[in-house]
Amino acid sequence: MSQFIIGIDLGTTNSALAYAPLNGSDKELEVALFPVPQLANPGEVADFDLLPSSIYLPGEKEFVEGALALPWNGQPSYIVGRFARLRGVENAGRLVSSAKSWLSNQAADPVQPLLPLNAPEGVAKISPLEASRQYLLHLRSGWDHAHPDAKLAQQTVLITVPASFDAAARDLTQRAAKLAGYPEVTILEEPQAAFYAWIERNPNWRELVKPNDLILVVDIGGGTTDFTLISVTEKDGELQLERIAVGDHLLLGGDNMDLAVARFAEQQFADKGTKLDALQFHSLWQQCRTAKETLLADGAGASHPVTILGRGSGLVGGTVKGKISRDEVRNLIVEGFFPLVPADAAPQRNRRAALAEVGLNYAADAAVTKHLAQFLRNAGNVKPTHLLLNGGVLQASAIEHRLFEVLNSWQANAVVELKNDSKQADLMHAVAHGAAYYGIARSGKGVRIRGGVPRTYYVGIESSLPAVPGLPAPMKALTVVPFGLEEGSKVELPQRKFALVVGEPAEFRFFSSVSRRSDAAGVLLDEITDSLEELAPIEVFLPPHTDGTREEIVPVTLETYVTETGMLELWCVAGDGRRWKLEFNVREKAAAT
């Protein structure tokens, strides 16, 4: 029987674990942060409130025997966490980072050994799925060591993912958890978790918002940016919360900003005749992260030093020192990533080269405010009344102030900030705290945000018309998943029958829309307009009768099921009881059974 509810923020840059006991009264159900034991240095294990999402692949004789021992594993194959990140500064070719972003990468298979991308010959790479398993395994092992009578496998566990994660990436997250020895886990979107954390810390939240308020959650972490809109409604005199829109998956975050500062500093060294090699630049990159956070804070000094250790007379020769000023960092970060733009601004789409390195699909335009303007337009040109900030990047007060400045320039009514006490800690730990609180809410002891599918989904229906030379048959769009359909819900469309091709390869075309929110399930659009975005065509082979050879045109009705993990399943049901399932998602692939 579960003794705890455990919330895990499986972050791109850092991970965290929070928990709440289930054996007390409602007042005792307070969420606490679990200090994660990890290597701080060779032979030194210490507890930290965050587990850096980093893995170091040690060489065969790189460390003396016992130097990497953990309380639960005397000879680990990998280094996970704080020391992995530190060691990776010295040997980037053995460092795995940003593994979570690869789970939703359309250009590579996340179950194949890909990381580190720049690993030297002889270093055995690991897959993004395996990296995620290792982070979760470390958290589980640390918890089990501290709670031998309440092993994690017997607890209620929730894991957060970006709101923009597609169904396949959510499924991979659950798969990584299962491989790490977890029980069946519940997936929760990170911005919702951040909002749950705010509710937990503000028991009087009903006094801070009112019906018809619209809350914008901006979550900027180390690797990603997420936007979510939550509406405040009222039913039977009680306030309710409903998530009404989520943004696209943006690989744009603190890592981009640290890199911008590092490139600026690198040029300063170059202007003075100092050329940095790859190892020195990686060290500079890590220092620039600290410089950025320090110089963007309130009361920051005029500059921050950076030091580069020499790598031989051919390059630097000796230690080289420099500094970055507060004004330089503010201009690079605030003006570069959060420029003042009009409400009709849109991210720039760069023309891409035909060939490129295999890597993550980073956002082409680094201006977060342009992406935000586009998100609010796509959501119906809405004007948020409140803003909740989350993510380590937004600890910088200069960025916080700029976001309010931009939003207030787009609308007449000033946006109200939903504040937290102990802001510095909250922004780093809120997602894990909120996940644990959501577990409490699911048990009936807290407030739940109504969610559901953030888009309307359609399947293409070919018109039955006489063939015309040179012209394909017109395509219609059938609404199969209405906007806001709750997870775990099923939609049946028995009133319409369609002709399904089985026994030969067939193409399915899927569409989605963020603006058409009123199309009910079963509505057939006679025309594909610009309001619908087409996903890549899906070609599958649907098996016919058991002999597997006969081609058929089978009359079917359609059913849609949205799983608890957000997987969208479209079922084609024949009158004789045969059923074919299509799992479709924004990853633009499908499986049929």
Same domain, 212 and 258: no
Q: Are residues 111 and 213 in the same domain?
A: no
Rounded CA gap, 327 and 560, in Å?
54
Query: Which tokens go with 367?
Result: 């201006």
**pLDDT value at residue 536:** 66
Q: According to the model, what pLDDT value does residue 590 have?
A: 39
Could you tell me if 441 and 551 lie in one domain?
Answer: no
Domain boundary among 421, 450, 479: 450
**CA 331 to chain CA mean position, Å:** 27
424-427 CB contacts, 8 Å cutoff, 24+ apart:
424/395, 425/49, 426/197, 426/201, 427/389, 427/390, 427/391, 427/392, 427/394, 427/395
| Dihedral sign of CA atoms 473, 474, 478, 484 in order | positive
> Are 408 and 431 contained in the same domain?
yes
Q: Are 248 and 262 part of one and the same domain?
A: no
**Which pLDDT score, from 0 to 100, does residue 561 have?**
84
Show the 3-state SS of 508-559: ECEEEECCCCCCCCCCEECCCCCCCEECCCEEEECCCCCCCCCCEEEEEEEE
For 315, which DSSP code?
A: T
* CATH number of the domain residue 268 falls in: 3.90.640.10
Which residues span the domain enclosing 538?
456-592
CA end-to-end span of the chain, whole Å?
Answer: 35
Total domain count for the chain? 4
312 with 384, same domain: the answer is: no
Query: pLDDT at position 591, please?
Result: 43
Which pLDDT belongs to residue 547? Answer: 59
In a domain, 283, yes or no: yes
Kindly tell me the number of DSSP H helices and DSSP E strands found in the chain: 12, 31
Which DSSP letter does residue 115 get?
Answer: B
**Domain assignment of residue 196, yes or no:** no
Q: Which two tokens stand for residue 6?
A: 């455990």
Q: What pLDDT score was predicted for residue 551?
A: 72
Neighbouring residues of 248: CB distance < 8 A, sequence distance ≥ 6: 164, 371, 375
CA 426 – CA 424 distance, rounded (Å): 6
In terms of domains, do 238 and 379 share one? yes
Residues 367 and 231 in one domain: yes
The pLDDT assigned to 550 comes to 66
The pTM for the full model equals 0.77
In a domain, 8, yes or no: yes
**What are the pLDDT tens digits along the chain (593 aa)?**
789 999 999 998 899 999 999 875 555 568 999 999 999 999 999 999 999 999 999 998 899 999 999 999 999 999 999 999 989 877 888 999 889 888 887 778 899 999 998 888 889 999 999 999 999 999 999 999 999 999 999 999 999 998 778 777 888 999 999 999 999 998 888 888 999 999 888 888 888 999 999 999 999 988 889 999 999 988 777 788 888 888 887 888 888 898 899 999 999 888 888 888 776 787 788 788 878 878 887 778 889 888 887 665 444 456 778 889 989 999 999 999 999 999 999 998 766 566 555 556 678 899 999 999 999 999 989 999 999 999 888 888 889 999 999 999 999 999 999 976 554 457 889 999 999 998 888 776 666 676 667 788 899 998 876 656 766 778 899 999 888 787 667 888 888 889 888 888 878 888 888 788 889 999 999 888 888 988 766 777 888 765 555 677 889 999 988 765 556 788 889 888 888 888 764 333 334 44
Nearest one of 83, 541, 12, 546 to 252, comparing CA atoms: 12
Check residue 2 and give its pLDDT.
85
Within a domain: 446: yes
Domain shared by 214 and 109, yes or no = no
Residue 299: other Cβ atoms inside 10 A = 5
CA distance 573 to 53: 44
Alpha-carbon distance of 292 to 283, in angstroms, equals 14
- The CATH number given to whatever domain includes residue 374 is 3.30.420.40
Q: Which two tokens stand for residue 154?
A: 């017997």
Question: Tokens in use for 328?
Answer: 């330089």
**Residues 417, 530 within the same domain:** no
Residue 353 lies in a domain: no
In sequence order, what are the beta bridge partners of 583? 569, 591
Residues contacting 344, CB < 8 A, separation 6+: 373, 377
- The answer on 549 and 586 residing in a single domain is yes
Is 345 part of a structural domain of the chain? no
- Specify if 374 maps to a domain: yes
Q: Please check whether residue 524 is in contact with residue 478, taking contact to mean a CB–CB distance below 8 angstroms.
A: yes
User: Of 402, 426, 450, which residue constitutes the final position of a domain?
Assistant: 450
Q: What is the CA radius of gyration of the chain?
A: 26
Domain membership of residue 578 (yes or no) is yes
Instruction: Please identify, among 420, 450, 480, the residue that sits at the C-terminal boundary of a domain.
Output: 450
Same domain assignment for residues 74 and 145 = yes
